[in-house]
Structure 1
Amino acid sequence: MRWPRPALGILGGMGPLATADFYRRLIERTPAVTDQGHLPVLMWADPAVPDRTAALLGEGPSPVPALVEGARWLKQAGARYLAVPCNTAHAYVEQLSKAAGVEVLDMVKAALAAATETAPGAKRVGILATRGTRLAGLYERAGARLGLDVIQVPARVQREYVDAAIRAVKGGADLAAAEQWIASATETLKGQGAQVAIAACTEIPLVSGAAARVLPLVDSTDALVDAVVSRLWTPDELVPGNGTPGVSSSARTK
């Protein structure tokens, strides 16, 4: 199919609520003034993708085959770029991109860049993430390339607060308690010298309101959305039928 602008493929389902949240934010943050001005989006949201953290911890099967299957489907359907709204899945992005032959926009790089913009001059960045993201060192490696010192919470805080909050969001449990746990974890990061924090799991932004009052907080979901818009979106008037000479505004809104 021919699209008026590059089509985005969303490789989601990790988890389902985080995927829906990503797409909602993409619509809200795209500066389109007509329906036709929004990005064409294809979505593969398979919640059966094996758990990424379990795989990285050696406690479950690899998610790569399922991720590659989804990515290939999206490419065949017309996606020119992929967004994967799951930080932990970025441990497999290089394999995924190579196997599927399609560019995957880098959520980790986008989140760290947003942190330097949110807190200019900050050198110590606190991370709220899954154990899998921690084990893979995704933010540590990317941060080192930017000259940033990446800080993780202690193992106890990870287990009792961060992991518990992520499970609560995925399971539809008490989100008020989850919000307090994330705020407590952010307090710990602040005590460790973090100058800005990143909600580096797509479930965490859903319960990060209180944490944002502790430290400047970067939402990795928003960072990926902004990277997508920056790469793919063009003004409405450049989209065929939205501003083409001879096409009336009344015709364009029908």
Structure 2
Amino acid sequence: NNPKVPSRIKAIIEGNGEDPGPVMADMGRRLEAWGADFLVIPCNTAHFYYDAVQEAVKIPVINMIDLVVNQVKADFARETHIGMLASPAVAITKLYTRRFDTLGMTEVWPDKEHQDRLFNIIRQVKAGGISLDLHRQYAQVCDHLKDQGVGVAIVACTELSALGGNDLPLDTIDASQVLAEAIVRMVKHPSEYPLTGHPGSSRISGNNNR
């Protein structure tokens, strides 16, 4: 963690902040120099700067977005509408959009009212305000996606991951969990760079279990 990384929110959403890419690239070079075997970026939005980091180092940088999309393809190949539970920055950067387009899948985002509510939930969790009421609001956003024909949603925000997913009204794939499992696999099998998601425990089933 580096508190000196410029705000991604200001750079992407507000459009008036310093580019975080060079700072992240420098972090990558330093970690490589200190002996890191590979790098991870445990933030969906920060993957907007993935290329800047990978181009700065010679060691692998695990791409969480690719892992998650491959997980969806492996576990939910028949789904055509994939719900997105993330900050507005993920929508603006289209990090998942291009990859889903190649699979014939379509992202489904909450409408403005529910997306604003979701962003408020993210802010409250970031401030340490996890509560039963936040869980209830989160479930309501998921219900909203389910009403739009969504069968599975990607939890693409670490703050939302902190709320858990076992009691949600639809199936979810947690990007943070997918990444964590990929890290474990890479540590156990360093010769095998994890290019694809691994079907299994990354999938969290909601109340509408298949």
TM-score range relative to shorter protein:
0.7 to 0.9
Gaps (5+ residues) in structure 2? 191-210
1:223 deviation in Å? 0.8
The one-letter amino acid paired with 1:92 is Y
Q: Which residue is equivalent to 1:144?
A: 101
The 5 A counterparts of 1:55-204 are 55-57=11-13, 58-159=15-116, 161-204=117-160
Contact 2:11 2:19 in 1 (8 A): yes
Contact 1:168 1:175 in 2 (8 A): no
Q: TM-score, normalised by structure 2?
A: 0.82
Q: Which residue is equivalent to 1:230?
A: 185
1:181 deviation in Å? 2.3
1:120 deviation in Å? 4.4
Gaps (5+ residues) in structure 1? 1-44, 236-254
1:131 deviation in Å? 1.0
The one-letter amino acid paired with 1:85 is P
Contact 1:183 1:208 in 2 (8 A): no
Q: Which residue is equivalent to 2:200?
A: none
Instruction: Give the Cα–Cα distance (whole angstroms) in 2 for the partners of residues 115 and 181 of structure 1.
Output: 25
The 5 A counterparts of 1:234-245 are 234=189
Q: CA RMSD for the aligned pairs? A: 1.9
Q: List, as ranges, runs of 4+ consecutive aligned residues in structure 1 with deviation greater than 6 Å.
A: none
SS class of match (1:207): coil
Matched, 1:47 2:3: yes
Of Structure 1 and Structure 2, which has the larger fraction of its residues in helix?
1
The one-letter amino acid paired with 1:147 is G
1:201 deviation in Å? 0.8
Q: Deviations over 1:41-94 (max 9, x none)?
A: xxxx11332221221120322211221221111111111211111000001101
Q: Deviations over 1:150-202 (max 9, x none)?
A: 1111122111x211111111111243332222211111111111110010111
Q: TM-score, normalised by structure 1?
A: 0.69
Instruction: Give the Cα–Cα distance (whole angstroms) in 2 for the partners of residues 47 and 204 of structure 1.
Output: 21
Q: Which has the larger radius of gyration?
A: 1
SS class of match (1:121): coil
For these two proteins, the number of residue pairs brought into alignment is 189
163-172 or 49-58, larger mean C-alpha shift = 49-58
Q: Deviations over 1:77-117 (max 9, x none)?
A: 11121111100000110112112343211111111222234
Contact 1:182 1:208 in 2 (8 A): no
* Higher relative contact order (Cα pairs below 8 Å, separated by 6+ residues): 1
Matched, 1:207 2:168: no
Instruction: Give the Cα–Cα distance (whole angstroms) in 1 for the partners of residues 3 and 133 of structure 2.
Output: 25
